Structure 1
Amino acid sequence: MSPASQAEDAARAYSEWQQAVAGVLAKSRRVDAAELGPEPQKLLDTTTYDGVTVSPLYTGRDELPEAPLPGEFPFVRGADGNRDVNSGWLVNAQFGRGVADAAEVNRTILDSLENGVSALWLSLGGENLPTDALDAALAGVLLDLAPLTLDAGSETAAAAQKLFALLDARAAAGDGVADRADVRVGLGAAPLTDGFSGAAGVELADAVALAEVAAARAETVRALTVDGTVFHNAGASDAEELGAAIAAGVEYLRALTNAGLPISAALGQLEFRLAATDDQFQTIAKFRAGRQVWARVAQVCGASEFGGAVQHAVTSAAMMAQRDPWVNMLRTTLAAFGAGVGGADSVTVLPFDVALPAGAAGVSKSFSARIARNTQLLLLEESHLGRVLDPSAGSWYVEDLTDSIAAKVWEFFQQIETVGGYSAALGSGVIGDRIGATKAARDSDIAHRKTAVTGVNEFPNLAEAPLPTEAIETGATVARYAAAFETLRDRSDAFLAANGERPQVFLAPLGPVSEHNGRSTFAANLLASGGIEALNPGPLDATDGSIAPAAKESGARIAVLCGTDKRYAEQGAAAVTALREAGIEQVLLAGPEKIFADVEGAGRPDGFLTARIDAVAALTALLDAIDGDNK
C-alpha cells in the first residue's frame, strides 16, 4: 500500500471515530450530532491549572520528534544515561526531624539502610538533631554508598563546617574511598525559596560562600537546593512550581558567577527539590519538562553539557489528608510511581500520617516510615520500574504533555524575568498572586466536588474516631487540599464531644429503594463529607401519612427529600408540606431547582443539593443551623 493510500485510510478511520464520538455525545446530551460541530471530541478535552489542554485520545497525528537518549541534551529523558538499572532511583528518607537523640537517629539510619533506603535527608538544628551531634548520627554510614542531604535552616553554615570536618577526618583515617567524588552530599542551603515560605535560613551571600568552598572540595558537594515544594505547598500548579524554581535557580547562577565561579561549577552547585502528586501522568511529564527547561537555561549560559538538573522528588504534603489517612498510601504510591518513571534521581515518600500528630493514626512512627520506604521498594524490586530509563518515552500523550508543560514553565519564567528576576517578582507579588489564583481555583473545584479527594469530599468515613484537638497541621505554609472539608469534620467532632452524637439531618426517601437510592446515597455522602449524619428511615410515601411520624421520631430540624424527578412531580410538594408540618425547619431537595420551578409557598423546598454545588458553603450553613438549634 502506498503512503498516500495509508494516509487516506488513516484519515477515513479518524473521521469514522469522530462520527462515533458525536453519536455517543449527542445521545448523552440529547441533541442532534450535527449540532456538535466538526470536532466533537474536543468536548471531551480537559484543561489543567496551567491552561494545558488534555485530549481524550492521542494518536500518530500527535507524534513529536524523538528526543535524544537519556544523558544527552536537553536531558528530557534523564540527566544520567548511565544510571544503574538494577537499583533504579535512590530511595530517600528523612531523619532527625523532631528527634534530638543522636544515638536514636543513628540506629534509625542504619536500620533503614539495611532495609532498602539508599539516600539520607538529615534535619539539624532547632527541635531536630543538634548540629554538634552530626558525627554521632552518621557513625557507620558510608557516604560513598548513601548520598546525604542536610536540612539545617539557619544553622546550615555550621552544619556544613561540621560535615566538612567529618569528611576530612574520614579521609585522613583512610576510609577506603578510592575516588572522593563518589561521596555525594548536599548542604541544603535554600535562601531564595526560604524567602518565599518564610522559613529560617541562611543569607544568599553566606550560601554563595558555602558554594565556593563546596566547589573546591574533592567530594561531590552541592551547596544549594532549589526547593520547588514551597511553591507547590502554597497552591502552585506544576508549571508555576517549575517556573518559580527555574527563576530561583537562575538567580543563584547569577550570584555564583558574580562571585567568580565558572558557569559549569555554578550549575554543579544546584539541585532541585520538586513535589510529586497522585496525578501520575502530570508528575511524569512535570519532571521531564523540568529537565528540559533547565537544560535550555544551561544552553543559553553556554554550558549545555552541564544542564542535567539533579532532581529530588518529595511526595506532595498538600495532597495528604488527615481524614481516612490510609488513602494517603495510595496517593503516595502514585506519586512515587510518577516521579520514578519521570526520571527523578531520588524520591522521598512522606509517611501516610504526616498530616497528623504522632500516634493519631494508631500506629508507631517506625510503622509509618516502613510503609513509606516499602512503597518505593515494591515499585523498584517487585514492579522493576527502575529497569528502564524513561519508559514513557514515545507515548504521544506524555510527550505532548511534557512539551506543553515546558512551554508554560518557560512562559512563567519569562514573566518573572520581565519584572527583574526571582527576588523582584517575589517582592512585587507576581509569584505569590499567580500561585494564589491557582490555589483559589483548586479550592473552588474541591469545594464544588469537581475534584475528588477520596475519603474527604467523596466516600468519607463518618464512623472514624475523632482526631486529637491539638494542632494537626503539617505546617502553616502547606495549603492542604482537604483542609476546608476537614475543618467541617473538626466541627462535627466538637459537636459529638459536646452532645454525644453527630450533627444529624433527616433523609426523606420517596418511593421504593430502586427510585430513591441514587439521590439518597448522594445526599448521605455529601452530608458525611461535612461530618453530618444522615438519618434514613427507609422508603416513605407522601400519600400514606408516613413522612410526618418518621420525621418527628428522628428529632432532626433539617431534612433532605430524595427521589426521582417523576416522584417529585407527583409527591414533592406534598412531601415538603408534610415535613414542615412535622416540625422540620429547613427542607432541602436532592436535585435541581427546575423541578420545583412552578411550586410556591409551603410546598417549595428551601434549597437544592446538586452534584456541583459549593459543598463547603452549603455544609457550613447546615452546621451553623444545627449548632444554633443546640445552643
Structure 2
Amino acid sequence: MKYKTTSGIEIKEVYTEPKDLRELPGEFPFTRGIRKDMYRGKLWTMRQYAGFSTAAESNKRYHYLLKQGTTGLSVAFDLPTQIGYDSSHSLSEGEVGKVGVAIDSLQDMEELFDGIDLEKITTSMTINATASILLAMYIARAKKQGADLKKISGTIQNDILKEYAARGTYIYPPKPSMRLITDVFEYCSREVPKWNTISISGYHIREAGSTAVQELAFTLANGKAYLKAALEKGLDINIFAKRLSFFFNCHNNFFEEIGKFRAARRMWATLTKELGATDEKAQMLRFHTQTGGSTLTAQQPLNNVVRVSTQALAAVLGGTQSLHTNGYDEAFSLPTEDAAKLALRTQQIIALETGVTDTVDPLAGSYFVESLTDEIEKAAWKYIEKIDALGGAVAAIESGYIQNEIASSAYEYQTAVESGDQKIVGVNSFKELGETQFELFRVSDSIREHQIKKLENLKASRNNEEVAGALGALKVASQTSDNLMPHIIHAVECYATLGEISDTLRAEFGEY
C-alpha cells in the first residue's frame, strides 16, 4: 500500500536525509517565516469572519467579538452586495443578509462600524467584483470619523481571477475587472499606503475541490498576473507588491498544509524577484488563513471542533500572519455566538497554552517537513509552467484549463469518499444513527423589507442632483484611462448606492 498526501505526493516510510538549514527566518526566500522573531515579536491577528442581516446587527456581533479578544475584524457581505445589486433589486430576493451583511450605501457602512475606531482596528473585507465600491465606502466612513487615511489598515480581497475560476461572484469581463483592481493598487499606494490592496485567494480554489498543490499553484499564477498588470500600468513593484497579501485554506492533512505554506513563501519570493522586486518587503508573501469550510460535516458536528483545532495549529506552524477559525456549526448555518466564541478561544489556546509560538520555526529540520516542502514546490512549479505556456492565468481561465483541473480533482476526491478510500469520521467511518439537535442561527427574510425601506428613505433625503452628477462623472471617466477610485469615492460620499454605481459600470464594461 502506498501512502500519499491529498495532492498525490507519495510519503516515504521514513525520512533520513538532513537538510542544510543555514537559511534563516526573515531572510530571502523566507521559507522559514517573514520575520526573524515571528510570533515571539507579534502573534498572528486573530480574526473571526462575521457579517449577517443588517449593518446594525453585524455591528453588535463585531462589538461582541472585540470584547472576546479578537484582534481584527473580517467582514462577510451578502450575495447581492458581492455582485453589485441593491437589496431592492428583484434578483436580491431571498438572499438579503443571508451569507453576510447587506450593504447598499455609505449609510449602511456608517452603521456597520458605529463605535469602532477605524484608525485603531484592522479590517479585512471579503469582496471582489464590488471591492472598489466597498473600499470607497470604508474610506468615506474613516474620513467621517476624522481618521488619518495614511494610518488606516486592512485588506480587501479584490481577487477577481479566482472568481472566474472557482467562485462565481464576478460582474464584468476580465479586462475591465483587472483595470478596477489596478486602479485600487494605484490609488491606495498614494492615499492609503498601509492598506493591503488585494488578498490573492487560494481559499475558494480549495473549497471548489482543488488539491493543496493546485491551490498553491493557481493562487501564485493569479498573483503573477496581478503583478504583470500593475507593471504594465507603470506602477513600481517595490511599492505596490508590499501591499499584496494572500489568503489560503487549511485542510486536514496536517503536514502537507504546513509544507504548502512554507513552499508558498519561497515561490513568491522567487516570482517577485524575477519580475524586478529588489526590496525584501516586496518579496515577502504575507497571508491570512481560514480553516477549511468544506471539511466541516453535518454528521456529528462537534467533531468539527477537532478538525478546526488541528487545521489552525497547522496554519500557525506554517507561519500565518492572520487566522480565522470556523464555527463547528457552519455545515448548517452561519455560526452562533457560542460557536464563534469557541472558534476564537481555539486560537487563543494555541497562542497562549501550547508553546508552539516560543520558537520561530518549530518543525525546521524535520526530514519529512523539509522534503514535503520541496515536493510541493516542485509540483506547483509544473502547474505554473503549464499556465505560463497557455499565456498566463487570464488565458488559462478563459480557456477553461484551471476550472477543469479543479473539477477533476473535486471528482476524484468525492469518488474516494464514496468508495471509502478517503475516510471521514462520522460520514463514512464510525457513523451514528439519528441527528444531533442543537441551536442554529437563522436570518429572517424580513431583512429585505427593512433594507428596501432604508433605501427609499435615503433616496428621498439625499441630494439626487449631486448623485446624478457623480454617476455621470464616473461614466465619463470609465470611457478614459483615468483612475476610477476618486470618482467612486465621490459617488459614495453623495450617497449613491452600490447598485447605482455598479449599474453605471455595467453599462460601460458589460457583464461576463
- TM-score by length of structure 2 reads 0.75
Tell me, in whole angstroms, the C-alpha distance in 2 between the residues paired with 1:418 and 1:344. 31
Aligned to 2:283: 307
Match of 2:404 among 422, 433, 438: 433
Distance 1:394 1:253, change over 3 A: same
Distance in structure 2 (CA, Å) of the matches to 1:248 and 1:332: 27
- Whether 2:11 is the aligned partner of 1:54: answer yes
The SS at the match of 2:357 is helix
1:404-456 residue CA offsets vs partner (Å, 9 max, x unmatched): 10111111111111111111111222212222222222222212212210011
Say whether the 8 Å CA contact 2:39–2:360 is kept in structure 1: no
CA contact (8 A) 2:162 2:222 kept: yes
Q: 2:53 aligns with which of 87, 91, 99?
A: 99
The residue type paired with residue 109 of structure 2 is L
The amino acid of 2:213's aligned partner reads A
1:47/1:393 Cα in 2 relative to 1: closer, same or farther (>3 Å)?
Answer: same
Structure-2 separation of matches of 1:72 and 1:460: 48
Q: Hey, what does 1:200 align to over in structure 2?
A: 170
Gaps of 5+ in 2: 82-95, 443-512
User: Is 413-422 or 364-373 further displaced after alignment?
Assistant: 364-373
1:167 to 128, 142, 148: 142
- Of structures 1 and 2, the larger Rg is shown by 1
How far did residue 254 of structure 1 move?
1.0
Alignment of 1:213-612 (within 5 A): 213-304=187-278, 305=280, 306-357=282-333, 365-465=336-436
The 1:105–1:393 alpha-carbon spacing in structure 2 relative to 1, beyond 3 Å, is: same
Aligned counterpart, 1:186 = 155
Kept in 1, the 8 Å contact 2:5–2:253? The answer is no
Query: Secondary structure of the residue that 1:54 maps to in structure 2?
Result: coil
| Distance across 1 between alignment mates of 2:408 and 2:128 | 29
Q: Which amino acid is 1:262 matched to?
A: D
CA-to-aligned-CA distance 1:331-360 (integer Å, 9 cap, x gap): 1111000001100111111111112136xx
Alignment partners' CA distance in 1, 2:57 and 2:340: 14
In structure 2, do the counterparts of structure 1 residues 451 and 51 end up closer, same or farther at CA, with 3 Å as the change threshold?
Answer: closer
Structure 1 residue corresponding to 2:126, chosen from 148, 151, 175: 151
Q: Percent identity?
A: 24
Q: CA deviation at 1:389?
A: 1.9
Change (3 A) 1:261 1:120: same
Question: 8 Å contact 2:151–2:192 — kept in the other structure?
Answer: no
- Cα deviation for residue 81 of structure 1 reads 2.8
- Matched residues in 2 for 1:303 and 1:465: separation? 53
C-alpha distance in 1, partners of 2:370/2:67? 38
- Amino acid corresponding to residue 297 of structure 2 in structure 1: A
Q: Specify the alignment match of 1:484 in structure 2.
A: none
| Closer, same or farther: CA 219–269 of 1 in aligned 2, 3 Å | closer
Q: Please give the per-residue CA displacement for 1:107-160, whole angstroms capped at 9, x wherever unaligned.
A: 221221222211211124353242522233223334455321112344322211
1:94-119 Cα distance to aligned partner (Å, 9 max, x none) = 122x321x333222212212222112
Contact 2:47-2:324 within 8 A present in 1 as well: yes
SS in structure 1 of the partner of residue 216 of structure 2: helix
* Preserved contact between residue 153 and residue 189 of structure 1 (Cα < 8 Å): yes
- 1:201 Cα deviation (Å)? 5.3
Q: Assess, with a 3 A threshold, how the Cα gap between structure 1 residues 386 and 376 changes in structure 2: closer, same or farther.
A: same
| Distance in structure 2 (CA, Å) of the matches to 1:81 and 1:109 | 32
SS in 2 for 1:309: coil
CA distance in 2, matches of 1:193, 1:92: 22
Residue 386 of structure 1 aligns to a residue whose secondary structure is: coil
Could you tell me which amino acid in structure 2 is paired with residue 139 of structure 1? D
Distance change (3 Å), C-alpha of 1:106 and 1:425: same
Q: Distance in 1 between matches of 2:73 and 2:344?
A: 12
TM-score by length of 1: 0.62
Q: Does 1:116 align with 2:91?
A: no
Q: Structure 2: which amino acid aligns with 1:227? A: S
Kindly provide the CA deviation profile for residues 341-396 of structure 1, in whole angstroms up to 9, marking residues without a partner as x.
100111111111112136xxxxx710111111111111112213333222111111
Pick one of 4, 25, 28 that aligns with 1:73.
Answer: 28
Distance, in Å, in 1 between the alignment partners of 2:141 and 2:49 is 20
Secondary structure class of the residue paired with 2:134: helix
Aligned counterpart, 1:31: none
Q: 2: distance between equivalents of 1:345 and 1:181?
A: 21
Does the CA contact (< 8 Å) of 1:156 and 1:189 recur in 2? yes
Task: Give the distance between the partners of 1:366 and 1:76, measured in 2 at CA.
Answer: 37
Whether the 8 Å CA contact 1:87–1:386 is kept in 2: the answer is no
Q: Give the whole-Å Cα distance in 1 for the aligned partners of 2:124 and 2:63.
A: 16
1:50-97 per-residue CA deviation (whole Å, 9 max, x = no partner) reads 3422112122xx21221522221101111233545265211111122x
- 2:191 is paired with a residue of what secondary structure? coil
Give the 3-state SS of the residue equivalent to 1:91 in structure 2: strand
CA distance in 2 between counterparts of 1:368 and 1:246 reads 33
Could you list the runs of 5+ residues in structure 1 that have no partner in the other structure? Answer: 1-42, 359-363, 472-631
Verify the 8 A CA contact 2:163 2:170 in the aligned structure 1.
Answer: yes
Question: Is the CA contact (8 Å cut-off) linking 1:189 and 1:201 kept in structure 2?
Answer: no
Q: Secondary structure at the match of 1:189?
A: coil
The structure-2 alpha-carbon separation of the partners of 1:140 and 1:387, relative to structure 1 and needing over 3 Å to count, comes to farther
Q: 1:357 to 1:103 in 2, by over 3 A?
A: closer
Measure how far apart 1:465 and its partner are. Answer: 4.8
Shift of the 84–465 alpha-carbon distance from structure 1 to 2, 3 Å rule, reads: closer
Q: Secondary structure at the match of 1:53?
A: coil
8 Å contact kept, 1:50–1:408:
no
- Native 8 Å contact 2:258 2:317 kept in 1: yes
